[in-house]
Amino acid sequence: MIAYLQGYLLSRQKDAVVLVMPQGVGYQIYVSGHTLQAWQHYSCAQPPVSFSQELLFLWIHEEVREGQVFLYGFSSCQEQEWFRFLIQVPGLGPKIALNILSAFSFGLLQSAIVAKDVKMFQTVSGVGTKLATRIVHDLSLKTLPLGTEQSLPVLEGAEDLVRGLFILGYSQAQAYQAVLKAQEALSGASLEERMAFCLRELGKGLF
């Protein structure tokens, strides 16, 4: 089973990349939006590949379905661990797992699971009410992946704030950072006061 690949970037697609190995073999690997974004500044090679390019690597999860091999790549062991954690949920396949990883940071994922925030998962493409409910129920009973990045404090209204900012058009990362700052600056404040604070901070363009 393939666990790790290192090669040269040949092409970048909507949800996948093609890596060419030094031996000349190319692999199509499905990746999350975070990995695609991280690789934006790498130029794609033109066949025949020049091996003067920078070598890139991915941790790999391999699946065989109906005689076909599918490869899923991750820029960190932590992302791979979260992927494998998510696909333990019945009905949650690799594609939806990548959609979830593309939408949220590890910290926000952790907070959503701990708080059993069904609505947060419903914002992800391919996740309906039934699956979102199953995700928070099943995963809240399991041990979360180790080494999770700073999570959103599980305080009353925190998830509502993030979700509200997300609906208003702010990115998950912007909403997450603004709410964290509001939690630190306005301990004990009402939900409305914290939302107003978040909007002021986001209006400054600091995140």
CATH code at 158-203: 1.10.8
**Domain residue extents for the chain:** 4-74, 78-140, 158-203
Give me the helix-helix angle, 77-86 and 94-103, nearest 10°: 130
**pLDDT of res. 150:** 47
Q: Distance (Å, rounded) from C-alpha 207 to C-alpha 201? A: 8
Looking at 3.40.50.1820, 3.30.530.20, 3.20.20.150, 1.10.150.20, the CATH number of the domain 78-140 comes to 1.10.150.20
Confidence of residue 98 (pLDDT cuts 50, 70, 90): very high
- pLDDT tens digit sequence for 29-62: 999 998 888 888 888 877 776 666 788 999 999 9
What's the pTM value of the predicted model, to 2 decimals? 0.72
Please state the φ and ψ torsions of residue 103, each to the nearest 5 degrees: -85, -30
Q: Could you report the per-residue pLDDT of 106-152, keeping only the tens digit for each? A: 878 887 888 788 988 998 999 999 999 999 999 988 888 865 544 55
4-74, CATH topology level: OB fold (Dihydrolipoamide Acetyltransferase, E2P) (2.40.50)
Would you state the pLDDT for residue 202? 92
**Structure tokens of 181?**
């700052």
Separation of alpha carbons 164 and 167, rounded Å: 5
